[in-house]
């Protein structure tokens, strides 16, 4: 697919994730409860799900984020959260091995957690390939967790490669960022991810 089209589709996906998560929190606050299709209230320690965003960052990496590529094979996304979503992917509740089925993660997130219909998902994705990594923000603080994530991936340098060319959703569009952004915002040391 054309890179410009891929970036536009990535933006559409990211904004849908952001919007649906916000709508879910709003409806949960109104109902004073949270009832997604995949029940995970037990992973949320208190009623904060209803008032606080659980997604901290939505990132694009890979060929869509790199300079110079004109044709891209797929869209690579990372969602960094507080554990509300990533704990379900990591625990095997969503798929047996979320790293073996990266292309299934986005439909699972949209349908089971963010309450998109199958029709909405089909309209959004069609035959576009999207690899979604749903990771806890905690991985930025824990080099052992980063190592564990890297070991699950076929590429042992996955995180270094992914974080070498990143675009971050800033609410309006995607902007390029460097590792220093995360180090400053979240007060972390990511020197192990620097090439």
For 147-170, how does the pLDDT look when each residue is reduced to its tens digit (9 = 90+)? 888 888 778 888 999 999 999 999
Q: φ, ψ for residue 69 (rounded to 5)? A: -70, 135
Q: φ, ψ for residue 163 (rounded to 5)? A: -85, 0
What pTM was estimated for this model as a whole?
Answer: 0.84
pLDDT tens digits, one per residue of 51-96? 467 899 999 999 999 987 688 999 999 999 998 888 877 655 444 5
75-81 and 130-136 beta bridge pairing: parallel
In contact, 77 and 131? CB cutoff 8 Å: yes
In contact, 81 and 56? CB cutoff 8 Å: yes
Distance CA 175, CA 2 (A): 19
In contact, 10 and 68? CB cutoff 8 Å: no
Burial 11-45 (b: 16+ CB within 10 A, else e): bebbebbbebbeebbeebeeeeebebeeebeebbe
């Amino acid at each position: 697919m054309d890179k410009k089209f891929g970036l536009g589709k990535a933006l559409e996906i990211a904004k849908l994730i952001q919007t649906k998560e916000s709508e879910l929190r709003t409806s949960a606050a109104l109902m004073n409860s949270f009832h997604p299709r995949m029940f995970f209230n037990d992973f949320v320690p208190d009623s904060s799900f209803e008032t606080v965003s659980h997604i901290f960052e939505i990132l694009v990496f890979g060929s869509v984020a790199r300079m110079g590529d004109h044709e891209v094979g797929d869209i690579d996304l990372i969602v960094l959260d507080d554990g509300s979503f990533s704990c379900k992917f990591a625990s095997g509740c969503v798929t047996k091995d979320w790293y073996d089925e990266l292309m299934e993660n986005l439909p699972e997130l949209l349908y089971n957690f963010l309450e998109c219909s199958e029709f909405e998902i089909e309209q959004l994705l069609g035959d576009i390939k999207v690899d979604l990594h749903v990771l806890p923000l905690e991985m930025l603080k824990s080099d052992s967790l980063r190592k564990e994530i890297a070991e699950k991936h076929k590429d042992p340098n996955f995180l270094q490669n992914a974080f070498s060319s990143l675009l971050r959703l800033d609410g309006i569009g995607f902007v390029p960022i460097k590792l220093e952004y995360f180090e400053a915002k979240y007060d972390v040391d990511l020197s192990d991810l620097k090439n």
